[in-house]
Amino acid sequence: MSLNSKNHSQIYTAALVGTGRIGFSLGFDKKREQPASHTMALLGNKRIKLIAAADTDAEHLAEWEHFVKGTKTFSSSSEMYNTIPTPDIITVAVNEDSHMEECLAAIAAKPRLIILEKPVALNSAQALEISRAAEKAGVPVMVNHERRFAEDYKKAKAYIKEIGKLQTVRGELYSGLRIYGKEYEKDGSYSLLHDGTHLVDIISWLLEEKLSEPVVTGIYKDDKNEVRNFSAHFKTDSCAVVTISMSGRSRFFSFGLDILGTEGRICLGNGYAKFYKRKESKLYSGFYSLSRDKSLHLPKKTGYFSNMIKNAVDFLDGTSNLQSPLSAAIEDLKVLEEIKAAFI
């Protein structure tokens, strides 16, 4: 799409497939930064008119219909596509095992843009099928890798040039969910896919490089033969040591990155963002230490969801490219499959 700088005021219509947690109910979580669901983010953009939703769960759909007045609801996406005029945007926010089916159906409806929840699909083969269908139909697909749109991560990407040559990049994710078990491939309910896609994607985005050929170490399996720990090591052109570590036996959830350069450091994750620069040490004569860079001012809200929707509108206006394209998300899946191969 060619970009231009014209001002636009067109209202774009949108429809939602999936009114569950990420589709709707997380928008009521008082502890989360809002908007935290597709529904709330779409409603929060003045350039978008949300006109319909579909869900096979009647209870979820009824709750959504009660909250979003003046819209139409359907018990299936096929019924919705056969009833209403094709909206400009179709958001697919269903469970992972339904991503391919629902995204292919959305592509066949030929909207101007599809917003697809991460991960793209259960595996890269399914993701490539989505990609081929989208290309054939001429329908662009954006994947909701939310950290690409967050102000703290965007600040970190700009700050990387301030910390000298990169020495190490470490990404860590800790939770209580299994990392991998073969029986869970059918529905995607394992952390390597569900959460690992975020970890791989944000590192690739920050470094502007693809990750590949991981050396996987520290594999720990429980008594059910489910993987609960691992570390994967990569070498990129910009950094000699890139490590991703995940645990599925922690009694807490934590997502974080530590980026160390020759002149500074960036530490960021869920709920924090800290930037450090090399300065003359206050502790030792003749030495330099890292000192918190207080010149940076981060907004109180990261805007991770609202910025994603804004990018969708800007794309339809012709003033921006998609910041989280389908092609990048497919590469993320391939990296996860390379890691998974070490488990089997």
List, for residues 177-220, the tens digit of each pLDDT value.
999 999 999 999 999 999 999 999 999 999 999 999 999 999 99
- Res. 4 pLDDT band, cuts 50 70 90: low
Residue 160 is predicted with a pLDDT of: 97
CA 150 to centroid of chain Cα atoms = 10
The per-residue pLDDT for 238 is 94
Residue 9's pLDDT band, with cuts at 50, 70 and 90, is confident
**Rounded mean pLDDT of 144-164?**
97
pLDDT of residue 207: 97
Look over the chain and give the mean of its residue pLDDT values, rounded to a whole number: 96
Q: Phi, psi (5° rounding) for residue 54?
A: -135, 140
Q: Does residue 14 register a pLDDT over 70?
A: yes
Gap between the Cα atoms of 211 and 55, Å rounded: 36
Report the pLDDT value the prediction gives residue 299, as an integer from 0 to 100.
Answer: 86
Measured CA to CA, the distance from residue 97 to residue 226 in angstroms comes to 20
Q: What is the pLDDT of residue 25?
A: 98
d(CA 46, CA 265): 38
- Its pTM stands at 0.95
Q: What percent of the chain has pLDDT over 70?
A: 98
Q: Is 266 in contact with 156 (CB distance < 8 Å)?
A: yes
pLDDT of residue 297: 87
State both tokens at 316: 């339809």
Which domains does the chain possess? 12-145+305-324 (3.40.50.720), 151-298 (3.30.360.10)
With 60 as the cut, is the pLDDT of residue 1 above it?
no
Q: What is the pLDDT of residue 294?
A: 87
In this prediction, residue 319 carries a pLDDT of 97
User: What are 92-141's pLDDT values in tens digits?
Assistant: 999 999 999 999 999 999 999 999 999 999 999 999 999 999 999 999 99
Instruction: Give the per-residue pLDDT at 170.
Output: 98
User: Quick one: angle between helices 124-137 and 99-109, nearest 10?
Assistant: 0
Rounded mean pLDDT of 1-6?
52
Find the helix or strand (DSSP H, E) in which 54 lies.
strand 48-54
Q: In the prediction, which pLDDT does 6 show?
A: 53
**pLDDT mean over 309-327:** 98
Chain length of the chain: 344
Asked if the bond preceding 85 is cis, omega within 30° of 0, the reply is no
- Report how far residue 290's alpha carbon sits from residue 218's, in angstroms, rounded to the nearest whole number: 30
